[in-house]
């Protein structure tokens, strides 16, 4: 095999870091495990990239793809339809909360986020509020990399090379309760404060200029920030008061990740738009979707009206066929129920790690957890940039992988280890994750 670094330009990768070593090359997957080119086995603690929800090696999903490709490999959704897109849209509409009945397919998450911002702008232009174009999102949140989605993303480190970005993307505090700047002893008051920050941002910008708020049910980047109690209820009130659309970015948080088909259902709020991707096909083919309420489609249903947006491969027949087969697996095996039944055990197993001096906070819901690492548990002191570099990039990522656990050590906020195993995972996998983390984190502590 050619060397991976000769021609392949990897995503978000320090290519130079591989000059001395070989790029880990994954060749096969089965259940919760993957194997590399040398035949070593790894527990897939991140479901690929929050994607392989049904687990690896499902031949029925591969067969659904082959069958569709033989029958009709491709036809666009531009003024034409194909049966699998129609069927999948109907199936999704039946699973979404409330009147989120209009499914606009994309090929992935960034495109779904991009489409949602465009829809919000176009909707208000067509309903007599043409100045509403801005979007609000949270610090450290990741919403994708295309120029619109990147503008919504709240991570300066991945934006600065590409500026100037799309104007009108405003940032507000996230719900990192462990590092709450206010109300650190009262989650409810903290949630109220964080939600009200959105209201204050809308006031500052001018309610006539704000189109939408983009929030993940559980914010991934920064290491799993679940919503404090009452947060989304208050956000919904604020959005209604100012006529601002609430977009639930569920690229990670849908399809069982949080023990429901959609994160909004888990936390009991009604968005105007859901953006999704990743687990919709469990990764057996690429697909994303922007799911809008009936109300948002209405202005486009006039005789000459249309949402002037599209992508060639959005709603690709093979991807739609795979998504339908994936949802069959979900229903047959009750994967969503499996997450609900096992999430407490997953949490309890990870919480055993609290006896390590480096483990500051274990947070998340469902099968979606972040473990924040600290230098001092009592003061919650975090690492300096140099320490973080040495610890996360220099040691942890490689050491965890070598110990047989694929997961993510991330320092886009404070240093965290992120875990999101396939939804088929059970106690034996939780134990394996805990044991590998325990060994490697214990060693990491000695290296500080
Ligand atoms: C919340 C969220 N939104 C959007 C995206 C972008 O999705 P994609 O990488 O499929 O473009 C991601 C990707 O991880 C995400 O986590």
For atom 2 of ligand 1, the residue with the nearest CA is: 143
Instruction: Report the distance separating Cα 68 and Cα 85, nearest Å.
Output: 12
Contact by Cβ (8 Å): 267, 217: yes
Measure 254 CA to ligand 1 centroid, in angstroms.
Answer: 12
Q: At what angle do helices 231-242 and 187-205 cross, to 10 degrees?
A: 20
Measure 273 CA to ligand 1 centroid, in angstroms.
Answer: 15
Measure 167 CA to ligand 1 centroid, in angstroms.
Answer: 20
Atom of ligand 1 nearest to the CA of 108: 10
For atom 4 of ligand 1, the residue with the nearest CA is: 143
pLDDT of amino acid 5: 80
List, for residues 140-159, the tens digit of each pLDDT value.
999 999 999 999 999 999 99
pLDDT band (50, 70, 90) for residue 394 = confident
CATH of 15-46+334-446, one of 3.30.230.10, 3.40.1280.10, 2.40.50.140, 3.90.1150.10: 3.90.1150.10
Atom of ligand 1 nearest to the CA of 253: 1
For atom 8 of ligand 1, the residue with the nearest CA is: 109
Instruction: Report the distance separating Cα 116 and Cα 127, nearest Å.
Output: 16
Largest CA distance in the chain: 69
The residues lining ligand 1, judged by C-beta closer than 6 Å to any ligand atom, are 108-110, 113, 142-144, 216, 220, 249, 251-252, 277
List, for residues 22-61, the tens digit of each pLDDT value.
899 999 999 999 999 999 999 999 999 999 999 999 999 9
Q: Indicate if the pLDDT at residue 2 is higher than 70.
A: no
pLDDT of amino acid 20: 64
Nearest CA to 75 among 285, 319, 280? 319
Measure 144 CA to ligand 1 centroid, in angstroms.
Answer: 5
Q: Indicate if the pLDDT at residue 183 is higher than 70.
A: yes
For atom 13 of ligand 1, the residue with the nearest CA is: 144
Atom of ligand 1 nearest to the CA of 50: 14
Q: Please, what is the average pLDDT of the chain?
A: 96
Q: How many helices (H) and strands (E) does the chain have?
A: 15, 15
Q: Which residue ranges make up each domain of the chain? A: 15-46+334-446, 62-333
CATH topology of domain 62-333: 3.40.640
pLDDT band (50, 70, 90) for residue 17 = confident
Hey, is 64 helix, strand or coil?
A: helix
Measure 112 CA to ligand 1 centroid, in angstroms.
Answer: 9
Measure 1 CA to ligand 1 centroid, in angstroms.
Answer: 30
List, for residues 224-258, the tens digit of each pLDDT value.
999 999 999 999 999 999 999 999 999 999 999 99
Strands 273-276 and 245-249, bridge-based pairing: parallel
Q: How much is the average pLDDT of 251-276? A: 98
From 106, 151, 252, the mutation candidate for ligand 1 (largest count of ligand atoms within 8 A of CB) is 252
Measure 251 CA to ligand 1 centroid, in angstroms.
Answer: 6
Instruction: Report the distance separating Cα 31 and Cα 134, nearest Å.
Output: 43
pLDDT of amino acid 1: 59
Query: 324-335: b or e for each residue (b if 16 or more CB lie within 10 Å)?
Result: bbbbebbeeeeb
pLDDT of amino acid 210: 99
Measure 280 CA to ligand 1 centroid, in angstroms.
Answer: 13
pLDDT of amino acid 106: 98
Q: How much is the average pLDDT of 408-422? A: 92
């Amino acid at each position: 095999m050619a060397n991976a670094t000769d021609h392949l330009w990897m995503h978000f990768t320090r290519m130079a870091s591989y000059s001395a070593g070989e790029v880990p090359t994954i060749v096969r997957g089965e259940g919760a495990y993957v194997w590399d080119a040398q035949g070593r086995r790894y527990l897939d603690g991140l479901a690929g990239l929050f994607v392989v929800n049904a687990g690896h090696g499902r031949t029925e999903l591969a067969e659904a793809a082959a069958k569709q490709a033989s029958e009709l490999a491709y036809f666009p959704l531009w003024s034409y339809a194909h049966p699998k897109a129609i069927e999948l849209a109907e199936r999704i509409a039946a699973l979404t909360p409330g009147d989120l009945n209009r499914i606009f397919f994309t090929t992935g998450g960034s495109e779904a986020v991009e489409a949602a911002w465009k829809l919000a702008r176009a909707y208000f232009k067509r309903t007599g509020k043409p100045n509403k174009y801005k979007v609000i999102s949270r610090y450290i949140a990741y919403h994708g990399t295309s120029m619109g989605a990147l503008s919504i993303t709240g991570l300066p480190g991945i934006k600065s090379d590409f500026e100037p970005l799309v104007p009108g993307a405003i940032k507000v505090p996230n719900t990192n309760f462990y590092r709450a700047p206010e109300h650190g002893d009262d989650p409810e008051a903290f949630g109220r404060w964080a939600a009200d920050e959105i209201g204050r941002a809308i006031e500052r910008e001018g309610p006539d200029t704000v189109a939408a708020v983009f929030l993940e049910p559980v914010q991934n980047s920064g290491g799993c920030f679940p919503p404090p109690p009452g947060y989304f209820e208050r956000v919904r009130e604020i959005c209604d008061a100012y006529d601002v659309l609430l977009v639930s970015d569920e690229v990670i948080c849908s399809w069982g990740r949080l023990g429901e088909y959609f994160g909004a259902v888990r936390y009991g709020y009604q968005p105007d738009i859901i953006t999704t991707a990743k687990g919709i096909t469990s990764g057996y083919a690429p697909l994303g979707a922007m799911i809008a309420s009936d109300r948002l489609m209405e202005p486009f249903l006039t005789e000459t009206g249309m949402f002037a947006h599209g992508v060639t491969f959005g709603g690709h027949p093979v991807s739609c066929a795979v998504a339908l087969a994936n949802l069959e697996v979900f229903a047959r095996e009750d994967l969503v129920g499996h997450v609900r039944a096992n999430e407490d055990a997953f949490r309890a197993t990870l919480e055993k790690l609290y006896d390590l001096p480096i483990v500051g906070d274990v947070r998340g819901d469902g099968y979606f957890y972040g473990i924040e690492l600290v230098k001092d548990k009592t003061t919650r002191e975090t690492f300096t940039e140099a320490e973080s570099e040495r610890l996360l990039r220099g040691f942890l990522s490689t050491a965890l992988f070598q110990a047989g656990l694929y997961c993510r050590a991330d320092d886009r906020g404070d240093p965290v280890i992120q875990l999101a195993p396939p939804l088929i995972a059970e106690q034996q996998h939780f134990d394996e994750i805990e044991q590998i983390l325990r060994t490697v984190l214990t060693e990491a502590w000695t290296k500080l």
